[in-house]
């Protein structure tokens, strides 16, 4: 008899509720869960493909160990013994910083990894921590932290009540939204227009999102900081600023007004490719709208002025009075109790930056990590402190980081490498030990990161749908076994004690917290109260119980626990976003820091760039509904249809560059070159070409199986690893100068 099961899709930030029909271990069908209060039945092709991912024969189910130069199946014990034997001598001889770690994007989509990867990083005790955040959203997190006090205090467009939405560098109709968890984006976007609102899209491509908007303007890649500064300029120049009640909680308004003064619409128009009168009108409409939000994503983060651009979006929210306003940009109140719900409401420690710097190029750490673009140089530059061993966790840096040819050479030169991955990839093929994770249907799921970025407050939990195969470890268990090795306990330990320690660390932090519902209570009692749960479920239950909606271990009996979520398979709806200023702030000053020095000191660089020569042809990326960064190109459901890994070019550029009518073209940048299939379209701005990232699978030694489009072309061969946003260390992936010639 088929059974019905419910589960949150872990494949992107939209976090749709899925409804499964299963028979034994087999998934019969996947649909959108109509009763999910958030996603209301929506799903995309990837959600359906989770069934193929679960059953995929190429997905790893046993560890791999390099023997005689070849990765071969091994037992778990053999895999951890190899880590013990190979890693400890490297640490003994070269120190802890000789071992690095790279955490990839699915780390935040996999609850076990989100909760336990920090234990791995702590146990490694290395400064060489890298993540996909610095090829992604680090600028937004840094700007948010400097303005509001924590890196996840991100102001989210309140799309369900918004009347005016300005979207820059995001294509949620393909990506399903990012740093803005908003399932069924198409319907929610329609909602803005149906309530009489307006949607304006600024993008070098006329994307699906642009076509669904009221207005679209091409912008020259990398010039959003100029454009946004000009909006701020107009609002001040025309006296349209209305910070209202926010003014009492804001520092630096006058400084921002002065900083924006040179960026008149006339001065930036040529560089942005948007005329001055249009910039003026966009500014006025934004300022006068009843409830407005500015949403910038990948296109505004992965550029030279990513932090300044991300900051300016929130500056606009503040000066137009839209921050913390219904229908403007608001803060979530996540059930699991992140940093901006802890401690003293309204004031905090803010952020400390640059506590140490990277060995080779001296890049400052941000939130404890170095820019991912520094990974290769830390491996391939000789000298004391050189990286000799590397852990990759749910990441494919060989395809996702700039100058990937250099990085792959560096990976090949490591003394020892361990990859936690569910496939043998362009990255994990270089490892000495590969540790597989489970199918997403075999482990529990709760969106810790994305419930903090959601357009509504919700708590939804999915228990494992299927038991894991006999003897296979969930990734938190693998991590604890590595932690045991690193702590000198050896490869053969029962990890229960370590898991208790992870839980106790969390509990003790909370019991010592003055404003916690369990302040002063005995940590051992709390641990006992969580029994018999263990692993991620225990940590989750604890976080929910001590969070802002939690039952507080008796303090608020009607509050949330994991058990309550288990009784509500469609999730618990905690309502629309609520105003949180000033309580949400955790800056040192207790104010919104509108002009934080680490950002304002970058403004002269922006001004200088405004007058510099602009490259004539630049490369950007793009996303497609049927992709997920560098993986899932091997699943039959996502492989068919129109080719996606193409170089999109305006027909006029085709003529100008002499490649019109050709099927392929050669693309060359400072660091590399590729030959890519051509696609002509007038939906891209002249002077801009677009090639998606995450492809280039046709290389030896991987185990993806059959990939779409012959594996496609790797665009990160072209991205320059010396180009970055200085404050955040984020890579520049948009606006790479290139030359295109006949292949």
Ligand X SMILES: Nc1nc2c(c(=O)[nH]1)N[C@H]1C(S)=C(S)[C@@H](COP(=O)(O)OP(=O)(O)OC[C@H]3O[C@@H](n4cnc5c(=O)[nH]c(N)nc54)[C@H](O)[C@@H]3O)O[C@H]1N2
Minimum distance of ligand SF4 from residue 13's CB (angstroms): 7
16 part of the interface to ligand SF4, by CB under 6 A: yes
Q: Give contact residues for Mo ion (rule: CB under 5 A).
A: 136
Buried b (16+ CB within 10 A) or exposed e, 102-138: bbbbbbbbbbbbbbbbebbbebbebbbbbbbbbbbbb
**Which position among 6, 7, 12, 84 is part of the footprint of ligand SF4 (CB under 6 A)?**
12
- Whether the bond between 532 and the residue before it is cis, its omega within 30 degrees of 0, is yes
Compute φ and ψ for 736, nearest 5 degrees: -80, 125
14 part of the interface to ligand SF4, by CB under 6 A: yes
**Residue 337 contact among ligand SF4, ligand X, Mo ion, none, beta carbon within 5 to 8 Å by kind:** none
**Which position among 126, 133, 141, 176 is part of the footprint of ligand SF4 (CB under 6 A)?**
176
Helix H or strand E encompassing 6: strand 3-8
Minimum distance of ligand SF4 from residue 10's CB (angstroms): 8
9 part of the interface to ligand SF4, by CB under 6 A: yes
Tell me which residues in 376-435 interact with ligand X (CB under 6 A).
394-397, 400, 420-423, 425
**Residue 17 contact among ligand SF4, ligand X, Mo ion, none, beta carbon within 5 to 8 Å by kind:** none
**Which position among 202, 228, 594, 648 is part of the footprint of ligand X (CB under 6 A)?**
202
462 part of the interface to ligand X, by CB under 6 A: no
**Which position among 6, 7, 22, 47 is part of the footprint of ligand SF4 (CB under 6 A)?**
47
**Residue 249 contact among ligand SF4, ligand X, Mo ion, none, beta carbon within 5 to 8 Å by kind:** none
**Which position among 22, 44, 213, 480 is part of the footprint of ligand SF4 (CB under 6 A)?**
44
Query: How many residues line the site for ligand SF4 (CB under 6 A)?
Result: 12
**Residue 106 contact among Mo ion, ligand SF4, ligand X, none, beta carbon within 5 to 8 Å by kind:** ligand X
222 part of the interface to ligand X, by CB under 6 A: yes
* Calpha distance 219→226 (Å, rounded): 11
Minimum distance of ligand SF4 from residue 459's CB (angstroms): 17
Minimum distance of ligand SF4 from residue 19's CB (angstroms): 11
- Can you state the angle between helices 535-546 and 475-486, rounded to 10 degrees? 100
**Residue 389 contact among Mo ion, ligand X, ligand SF4, none, beta carbon within 5 to 8 Å by kind:** none
623 part of the interface to ligand X, by CB under 6 A: yes
* Calpha distance 637→626 (Å, rounded): 9
Question: What DSSP string describes 366-394?
Answer: BTTB--GGGHHHHHHS-STT---EEEEES
**Residue 549 contact among ligand X, ligand SF4, Mo ion, none, beta carbon within 5 to 8 Å by kind:** none
Q: Burial level of 354, CB count in 10 A (0-12/13-18/19+)?
A: exposed
315 part of the interface to ligand SF4, by CB under 6 A: no
Alpha-carbon Rg of the chain, whole angstroms?
Answer: 25
204 part of the interface to ligand X, by CB under 6 A: yes
Other beta carbons less than 10 A from residue 581's beta carbon: 22
Tell me which residues in 677-716 interact with ligand X (CB under 6 A).
693-694, 715-716
Q: CB of 172 within 8 A of CB of 210?
A: no
46 part of the interface to ligand SF4, by CB under 6 A: yes
15 part of the interface to ligand SF4, by CB under 6 A: yes
**Residue 719 contact among Mo ion, ligand X, ligand SF4, none, beta carbon within 5 to 8 Å by kind:** ligand X
Judged by CB under 6 A, the stretch of 152-160, 203-211, 348-356, 491-499 that binds ligand X is 203-211
Please, which residues have CB within 8 angstroms of residue 211's CB and are 6 or more apart in sequence?
none
Our CB check for ligand SF4 shows the closer of 169 and 183 to be 183
Our CB check for ligand X shows the closer of 172 and 727 to be 172
- Can you state the angle between helices 224-237 and 306-319, rounded to 10 degrees? 20
The three-state secondary structure class of 212 is coil
* Calpha distance 353→121 (Å, rounded): 19
* Calpha distance 246→526 (Å, rounded): 40
The three-state secondary structure class of 181 is strand
**Residue 299 contact among ligand X, ligand SF4, Mo ion, none, beta carbon within 5 to 8 Å by kind:** ligand X
Structure tokens at 551: 């039952």
Structure tokens at 24: 């034994």
Our CB check for ligand X shows the closer of 549 and 693 to be 693
Residues 136-175, one symbol each (x = binds ligand X by CB under 6 A, - = not), give x-------------------------------xxxxx-xx
Judged by CB under 6 A, the stretch of 10-18, 62-70, 680-688, 727-735 that binds ligand SF4 is 10-18
Q: Which of 621, 620, 534 is nearest to 115 (CA)?
A: 534
Beta strand spans in 149-204 (E) = 156-157, 164-168, 198-202
Q: CB of 698 within 8 A of CB of 675?
A: no
Our CB check for ligand SF4 shows the closer of 295 and 450 to be 450
Other beta carbons less than 10 A from residue 26's beta carbon: 12
Tell me which residues in 258-277 interact with ligand X (CB under 6 A).
none
End-to-end distance of the chain based on CA atoms, in angstroms?
57
Torsion angle, alpha carbons of 262, 266, 268, 269, to 10: 170
**Residue 320 contact among ligand X, Mo ion, ligand SF4, none, beta carbon within 5 to 8 Å by kind:** none
Q: Interior CA angle at 625 toward 621 and 627, to 5°?
A: 65
**Which position among 205, 217, 257, 406 is part of the footprint of ligand X (CB under 6 A)?**
205
Structure tokens at 715: 């665009």
* Calpha distance 253→320 (Å, rounded): 12
**Residue 370 contact among ligand X, Mo ion, ligand SF4, none, beta carbon within 5 to 8 Å by kind:** none
Residues 280-319, one symbol each (x = binds ligand X by CB under 6 A, - = not), give -----------------xxxx--x----------------
**Residue 322 contact among ligand X, ligand SF4, Mo ion, none, beta carbon within 5 to 8 Å by kind:** none
Residue whose structure tokens are 């401690």: 343
**Which position among 184, 224, 551, 725 is part of the footprint of ligand X (CB under 6 A)?**
224
* Calpha distance 434→73 (Å, rounded): 9
**Residue 310 contact among ligand X, Mo ion, ligand SF4, none, beta carbon within 5 to 8 Å by kind:** none
* Calpha distance 659→664 (Å, rounded): 8
Q: Which of 255, 265, 201 is nearest to 233 (CA)?
A: 265
Structure tokens at 221: 């890649």
Our CB check for ligand X shows the closer of 155 and 253 to be 155
Minimum distance of ligand X from residue 209's CB (angstroms): 7
* Calpha distance 698→683 (Å, rounded): 29
Q: Which of 259, 235, 144 is nearest to 605 (CA)?
A: 259
Our CB check for ligand X shows the closer of 504 and 698 to be 698
Helix H or strand E encompassing 725: strand 724-725
43 part of the interface to ligand SF4, by CB under 6 A: yes
Minimum distance of Mo ion from residue 298's CB (angstroms): 7
Residues 711-740, one symbol each (x = binds ligand X by CB under 6 A, - = not), give ----xx--x-------------xxx-----
628 part of the interface to ligand X, by CB under 6 A: yes
Minimum distance of ligand SF4 from residue 627's CB (angstroms): 10
CA distances from 554 to 514, 545, 572 (A): 17, 9, 20
Pairing status of strand 730-731 against strand 724-725: antiparallel
Residues that bind ligand X (CB under 6 A): 12, 104-106, 110, 132, 135-136, 168-172, 174-176, 178, 202-205, 207, 219, 221-222, 224, 297-300, 303, 394-397, 400, 420-423, 425, 437, 475, 620-625, 627-631, 693-694, 715-716, 719, 733-735
Residues that bind ligand SF4 (CB under 6 A): 9, 11-12, 14-16, 43-44, 46-47, 176, 183
């Amino acid at each position: 008899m088929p059974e019905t099961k419910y589960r949150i899709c872990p494949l992107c930030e939209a976090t749709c509720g899925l409804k499964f029909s299963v028979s034994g271990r087999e998934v019969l069908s996947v649909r959108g869960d109509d009763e999910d209060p958030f996603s209301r039945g929506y799903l995309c092709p990837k959600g359906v493909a989770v069934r193929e991912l679960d059953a995929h024969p190429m997905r790893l189910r046993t560890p791999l160990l390099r023997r005689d130069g070849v990765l071969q199946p091994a037992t778990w014990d053999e895999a951890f013994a190899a880590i013990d034997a190979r890693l400890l001598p490297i640490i003994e001889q070269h120190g802890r910083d000789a071992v690095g770690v790279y955490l990839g994007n699915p780390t935040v989509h996999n609850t076990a990894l989100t909760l336990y990867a920090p234990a791995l990083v702590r146990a490694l005790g290395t400064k060489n921590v890298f993540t996909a955040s610095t090829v992604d959203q680090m600028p937004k997190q840094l700007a948010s932290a400097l303005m509001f006090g924590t890196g996840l205090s991100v102001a989210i467009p309140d799309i369900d009540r918004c009347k005016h939405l300005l979207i820059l560098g995001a294509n949620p109709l393909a990506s399903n939204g990012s740093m803005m968890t908003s399932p069924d984006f198409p319907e929610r976007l329609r909602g803005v227009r149906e309530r009489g609102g307006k949607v304006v899209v600024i993008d070098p491509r006329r994307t699906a999102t642009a076509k669904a908007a009221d207005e679209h303007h091409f912008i020259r890649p990398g010039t959003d900081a100029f454009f946004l500064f000009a909006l701020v300029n107009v609002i001040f120049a025309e006296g349209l600023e209305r910070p209202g009640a926010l003014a009492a909680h804001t520092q630096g308004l006058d400084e921002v007004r002065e900083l924006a003064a040179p960026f008149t619409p006339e001065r930036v128009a040529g560089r942005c490719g948007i005329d001055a009168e249009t910039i003026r009108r966009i500014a006025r409409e934004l300022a006068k709208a009843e409830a407005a939000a500015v949403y910038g994503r990948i296109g505004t983060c992965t550029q030279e002025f990513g932090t300044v651009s991300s900051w300016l979006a929130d500056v606009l929210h503040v000066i137009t009075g839209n921050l913390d306003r219904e229908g403007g940009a608001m803060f979530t109140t996540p059930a699991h109790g992140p940093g901006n719900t802890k401690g003293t409401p309204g004031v905090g420690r803010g952020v400390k930056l640059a506590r140490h710097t990277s060995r080779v190029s001296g890049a400052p750490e941000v939130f404890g990590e170095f820019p991912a673009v520094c990974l290769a140089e830390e491996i391939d530059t000789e000298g004391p402190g050189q990286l000799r061993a590397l852990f990759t966790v749910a990441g494919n840096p060989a395809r996702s980081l700039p100058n990937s040819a250099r990085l792959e050479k560096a990976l090949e030169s490591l003394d020892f490498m361990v990859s936690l991955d569910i496939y043998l990839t362009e990255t994990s093929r270089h490892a000495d030990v590969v540790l597989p994770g489970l199918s997403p249907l075999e482990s529990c799921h709760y969106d810790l990161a994305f419930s903090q970025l959601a357009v509504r407050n919700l708590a939804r939990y999915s228990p494992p749908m299927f038991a894991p195969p006999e003897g296979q470890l969930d990734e938190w268990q693998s991590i604890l076994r590595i932690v045991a090795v690193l702590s000198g306990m050896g490869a053969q330990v029962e990890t229960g004690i370590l898991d208790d320690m992870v839980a106790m660390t969390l509990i003790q932090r909370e019991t010592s917290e003055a404003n916690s519902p369990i302040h002063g209570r005995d940590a051992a009692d709390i641990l006992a109260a969580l029994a018999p749960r263990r692993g991620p479920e225990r940590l989750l239950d604890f976080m929910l119980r001590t969070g802002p909606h939690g039952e507080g271990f008796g303090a608020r009996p009607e509050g949330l626990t994991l058990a309550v979520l288990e009784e509500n398979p469609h999730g618990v709806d905690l309502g629309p976003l609520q105003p949180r200023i000033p309580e949400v702030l955790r800056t040192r000053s207790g104010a919104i820091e509108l002009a934080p020095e680490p950002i304002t000191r970058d403004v002269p660089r922006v001004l200088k760039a405004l007058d510099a020569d602009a490259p004539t042809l630049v490369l950007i990326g793009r996303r497609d509904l049927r992709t997920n960064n560098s993986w899932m190109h091997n699943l039959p459901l996502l492989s068919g249809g129109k080719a996606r890994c193409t170089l999109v070019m305006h027909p006029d550029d085709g003529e100008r560059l002499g490649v019109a009518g050709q099927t392929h073209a050669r693309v060359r940048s400072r660091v590399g070159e590729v030959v890519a299939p051509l696609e002509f379209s007038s939906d891209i701005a002249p002077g801009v070409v677009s090639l998606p990232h995450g492809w280039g699978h046709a290389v030896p030694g991987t185990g993806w199986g059959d990939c779409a489009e012959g594996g496609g072309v790797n665009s990160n061969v072209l991205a320059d690893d010396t180009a970055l946003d200085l404050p955040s260390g984020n890579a520049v992936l948009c606006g790479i100068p290139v030359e295109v010639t006949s292949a």
